[in-house]
A = this chain, B = another copy of it.
């Protein structure tokens, strides 16, 4: 791998601005990037799936640039986003004497990005981080925008911080090693950006998704368009007091479904939950008379075409009844004053924040879907 041309997406957040670079071979240039940021030391946080593939070359790049490199390799999977592993990473960073000018490097998917980013946020009340997302989902979503966090028994990402990275390196070479299931799961988040506010992107995906899955230019375009869309929304509302909630399209349903399977990735991974959530958000919008049944069908059809689940029944095993799922939504961060906030749509590319949905409406809708 060597660094060739890459696309740059700027994230404009004042003094917290940073760049997302998307392209082939970026990972092996991380040492020079870290040095350019003025760091003397860096700890790479990764997991036992990703570490064996890329850790040696990332460490070699850091060492070649003269940095003191160290690493911590965690178990793979959602259950790593826990207080226990947060403590473990924190202690490793302290043992490596990572100081305020130094760097935490998150090398992995969304789990590693969220956990390592959170550890960076709270180490010495904040040190810098470089994100090297190694899944499609992390490249288009979790490495962009500075949300970090861990899970608790009450729900996902309920404990965390806003902490912008100093640089994101989305190395597209790594996507070639993903399983089809992992790639598809990430693709659900790509579709989301079209559904939020970009009908033409959604239409382009409907026509070109096989090329996006195949790699090359179409894939880079899909990633860059997704990152640009997210960066634009985050720049408008860094701390989620308004428009940023649009990024949660499909996610209130998704979080409840993930909680219902106890974050068991063999049954349901995050992107699959999002796919079902997107389909449900459009069906719920149609049921409320906000959008047409045709639009809801079109969303479901595209997700199904690429092989993603779109119905609660697509999840293997039991997820509980409508009341149980509603209760799991009640612990979502987007609850306000007992009413539920959903992102609904007046059409594809016309999503909006509906902040006053009575729980009974959701209960009725879910009961129908589970019938």
A94 B336 Cβ-Cβ under 8 A: no
Q: Nearest residue in B to A148 (C-beta to C-beta)?
A: B125
User: Within 8 Å of chain B (Cβ to Cβ): is A95?
Assistant: yes
Asked if A219 is an interface residue, CB under 8 A from chain B, the answer is: no
Interface set, chain A 146-169, CB cutoff 8 A to B: 147, 149, 152-155, 158-162
Contact of A359 with B by CB under 8 A: no
The verdict on A97 contacting chain B, using a C-beta distance below 8 Å, is yes
Task: For the complex, give the distance between the alpha carbons of A154 and B162 in Å.
Answer: 25
Task: Answer whether A125 and B100 are a contact pair too, CB < 8 Å, given A87-B83, A161-B161.
Answer: no
**Chain A residues in contact with chain B, CB under 8 A?**
40, 83, 86-87, 90-91, 94-95, 97, 99-101, 121-126, 147, 149, 152-155, 158-162, 239-240, 330-331, 333, 335-337
Is the beta-carbon distance between B101 and A153 smaller than 8 angstroms?
no
B336 touches A161 (CB 8 A): no
- Which residue of chain B has the shortest Cβ distance to A240 in the bound complex? B125
Q: Are A97 and B149 in contact (CB under 8 A)?
A: no
Given contacts A125-B160, A126-B162, A160-B125, contact A94 B333 (CB under 8 A): no
On whether the beta carbons of A124 and B158 are closer than 8 Å, the reply is: yes
Chain B residue with the shortest CB-CB distance to A95: B154
**A101 and B333 contacting across the interface, CB-CB below 8 Å:** no
Q: Return 29 A-B CB contacts under 8 Å, by A number.
A: A40-B337, A83-B83, A83-B86, A90-B152, A90-B158, A91-B152, A91-B154, A94-B152, A94-B154, A94-B155, A94-B331, A97-B331, A97-B335, A99-B337, A100-B333, A100-B336, A101-B336, A122-B122, A122-B149, A122-B160, A123-B158, A124-B158, A124-B160, A125-B149, A125-B160, A125-B161, A125-B240, A125-B333, A161-B161
Chain B residues contacting A240 (CB-CB under 8 Å) are 125
Report, nearest first, the 7 A-B pairs whose CB atoms are least far apart: A94-B154, A83-B87, A124-B333, A125-B160, A122-B159, A90-B159, A125-B162
Chain B residues whose C-beta falls within 8 Å of the C-beta of A95 in the assembled complex:
154
Residues of B within 8 A of A337 (CB): 40, 99, 101
How far apart are the CA atoms of A336 and B102 in the complex, in Å?
10
Tell me if B153 and A91 are in contact (CB < 8 A). Answer: yes
The answer to whether B99 touches A336 (Cβ under 8 A) is: yes
Tell me which residues across on chain B come within 8 A of A162, comparing CB atoms. Answer: 125-126
Residues on B with C-beta less than 8 A from A154 are 91, 94-95
Give every chain B residue within 8 A of A121 (Cβ-Cβ): 161
- Residues of the B chain whose Cβ atoms lie less than 8 Å from the Cβ of A124: 158-160, 333
Q: Which residue of B lies closest to A337 (CB)?
A: B40
Known: A87-B152, A95-B154. 7 other contacts (CB 8 A): A83-B86, A90-B152, A94-B152, A94-B331, A99-B336, A125-B162, A126-B161
Could you tell me the distance between the alpha carbons of A149 and B239 in the complex, rounded to whole angstroms? 21
CB distance from A113 to the nearest CB of B (A): 15
Q: Which residues of B contact A161 (CB under 8 A)?
A: 121-122, 125-126, 161
Determine which of B101, B123, B155, B160 lies in contact with A159 in the assembled complex, contact meaning CB atoms within 8 Å.
B123
Nearest B-chain residue to A101, judged by Cβ: B336
Taking a contact as CB atoms under 8 Å apart, the answer to whether B335 and A99 are in contact is yes
Contact A97 B147, beta carbon cutoff 8 Å: no
